[in-house]
Structure 1
Amino acid sequence: MKTKDTKQVNFRIDKNLYERLKALADKEGRSITSQLNRILEEKVNATA
């Protein structure tokens, strides 16, 4: 993904949820940002 194709988003997340997200990202060999992109894209596509 090119930088010009992205938009920065800042938000707070529950510590427990963050740790679960980090563990999932580590398990799949992804960065947290990449993992969040994948999860959000799946959710948005499923409801569109």
Structure 2
Amino acid sequence: MKDNFEPRYGFVNFAEIWNGRLAMMGILIGLTTELLTGQGILTQMGIG
């Protein structure tokens, strides 16, 4: 019996699509908090 299982990790389309979606969400959340607080992302993290 042959399984048509595609891995969900590594450099496969499933993983890359979710990586892109999460990156877009991170940028949006970072910019939103920057607009609401008036501080840059690095300042909020205590680096800058």
Asked if TM exceeds 0.5, the reply is no
- Range into which the TM-score falls when normalised by the shorter chain: 0.3 to 0.5
Scaled by the length of structure 1, what TM-score is found?
A: 0.38
TM-score normalised over the length of structure 2: 0.38
Structure showing greater radius of gyration is: 2
Higher normalized helix content (fraction of residues): 1
Give the number of the structure with larger relative contact order, counting CA–CA contacts within 8 Å between residues 6 or more apart.
1
